[in-house]
Structure formats: C-alpha cells, structure tokens
Chain A
Amino acid sequence: KNEVEQSPQNLTAQEGEFITINCSYSVGISALHWLQQHPGGGIVSLFMLSSGKKKHGRLIATINIQEKHSSLHITASHPRDSAVYICAAMTGNQFYFGTGTSLTVIP
C-alpha cells in the first residue's frame, strides 16, 4: 500500500501541449512537495504547498486538502520538460514519495 499515488505513470506529449500530473495521498500532511528528477538522476525541488495554488513560470501546482489531491500542470510543454516528476507528502518528520510520472515531450 502506497501512501502516495501518482498518475499517470508514463506520459508522452507533443511540444506545446498542456500537461497534468496527479497525486493522491492517504496520510494527513503538513505540506506536499513536487520534485523533478532529470534524466541524469539529479533531483530538484519545484514546489512546496500546503493549500491553494502556486505558479512558477510554466508550472502550476494545486492542492485540495479536503480531497487529499494535488496536481502539477505544465503549460506550453517543451522537450526540456522531459523528466520524472515526483510528489512527496510531508507528515511529521517523514516524507512519503510517489513512484513518479515519467514525462516525455516530443518536438
């Protein structure tokens, strides 16, 4: 049983498409974290949110605390967005990670 579930597992999009990645969690959280893992393996933080919506460039993250659900949106997708996107739920001192969504954006 995973405390954090992501969908889809794999996603292929044409350049320019609007992309949505979903994350559902079953634990009570203090915050939710979206991460990006590059093809080379490095992991970077994209967003941390505990309510509402955050936007950074072409990336938008939303969270619905009542429904225990978060989404990551990418507008006007680009091949350089190709990566694995991971959501992580923080509860107490621990993080629970989804298995990631592998995104490939084709030119």
Chain B
Amino acid sequence: KAGVTQTPRYLIKTRGQQVTLSCSPISGHRSVSWYQQTPGQGLQFLFEYFSETQRNKGNFPGRFSGRQFSNSRSEMNVSTLELGDSALYLCASSAQIDSYYGYTFGSGTRLTVV
C-alpha cells in the first residue's frame, strides 16, 4: 500500500511569508501528527489530528496551525515565517484504532526561510 506522502519535498520562502505543507496518510489511518526537526532541537511535536479534530498540541506559537480533512489528509500552515522556522517538517500517520503499532513517517518537507 502507498506510504505517507508529503508535498512539496523542498520549499524556499522569504521571512514574513506564509507556507502550507500537505500530508496524505496511509489509507485507513485516521491519526496524523506533525513534527519539526532541527539540528538544535531534534524532533519536536507540533500537533496531532484524529478524525478532523486536533487532539494534541505541542509547545509551538500560534503561527503554526493545521487541519485535517474528512479523507484524513492534513495540512499545516506557518504564517509570518521566521528564519528559525527553517527545518525538516515530518508528517506521520498511525492507525490507533484497536491498538498502537507505531508511526509511519513521510519523507518530509525541507523548508528553508531566507
């Protein structure tokens, strides 16, 4: 079956702009989580969506937002970009129905803010 698909793979934006990243989970997976990965901070949890509802949220400013659609596809948005937002953004999906078997990650979107 198809894996987790993230688009785009690479993105270059200017400070102050906004950006939208997309994630299509594995078919049947209803939980989608987003992580930010930087060399300095490692993998930081952004938020998790389950059945179109934000179920958990990490410690990020309000400039970071997301949503999930009825087909479980998810988008995250970062407004008023800052240089420090340059990172690899990873999306992960999980079944989380009867039990939990870990996440399947996408290849990520590399965002560079200049």
Q: Do A and B bind each other?
A: no
The residues of A with any CB-CB pair to B shorter than 8 Å are none
